[in-house]
Structure 1
Amino acid sequence: MRVIAGDFKGRQLMSVPTHKTRPTTDKVKEAVFHVIGPYFEGGKALDLFAGSGGLGIEALSRGAESCIFVDQQPKAIQTIYDNIKKLDIEERVEVFKTDAMRAIKAAGKRELTFDYIFLDPPYNKFSYKDLMEALLENDLIAESATIICEHDASEEIPEEVGHLKRLKTDYYGSNIGVSIFE
Structure 2
Amino acid sequence: MRVISGSKKGRLLKAVPGQNTRPTTDKVKESMFNIIGPYFDGGWGLDLFAGSGGLGIEGLSRGLEKVLFVDHHPKAIETIRSNLATCQLMDFAEVYKNDWRRALKIIIHRKIVFQVIWLDPPYKKIKHYHEILQMVNDYRLLENGGSLVCEHSSDMSLPDTYGLLNKMKTTRYGSIALSIYKMGSTSP
Q: Same fold (TM over 0.5)?
A: yes
In the alignment, which residue of structure 1 is the partner of 2:14? Answer: 14
1:136 shift after superposition: 2.3
**1 CA distance for matches of 2:123 and 2:164?**
24
Aligned length: 181
Which residue of the partner structure matches residue 85 of structure 1?
A: 85
Q: Please report the TM-score for the alignment, with normalisation by the length of structure 1.
A: 0.97
Aligned to 1:72: 72
Letter in 1 for 2:80: I
Report the secondary structure of 2:18's partner residue.
coil
Matches within 5 A, 1:124-143: 124-127=124-127, 128-143=129-144
1:24-173 matches, within 5 Å, as: 24-127=24-127, 128-173=129-174
- CA deviation after TM superposition for structure 1 residue 138, in Å: 3.0
Q: Deviations over 1:17-74 (max 9, x none)?
A: 0111111111100110011111111111000000000000000000001000000011
* 1:45–1:56 contact (8 Å) kept in structure 2: yes
What letter matches 1:10 in structure 2? G
* Distance (Å, rounded) in 1 between the aligned partners of 2:124 and 2:21: 14
Q: Distance in 2 between matches of 1:18 and 1:63?
A: 31
> How far 1:94 moved relative to its partner?
0.2
Alpha-carbon distance in structure 2 between the residues aligned to 1:94 and 1:138: 21
8 Å CA contact retained: 1:101, 1:134: no
Q: CA RMSD in A?
A: 0.9
Query: What letter corresponds to residue 30 of structure 1 in structure 2?
Result: E
Distance 1:102 1:143 in 2: 24
- TM-score, normalised on structure 2? 0.94
Mapped to 2, the partners of 1:14 and 1:66 lie a distance apart of 20
Contact 1:105 1:138 in 2 (8 A): no
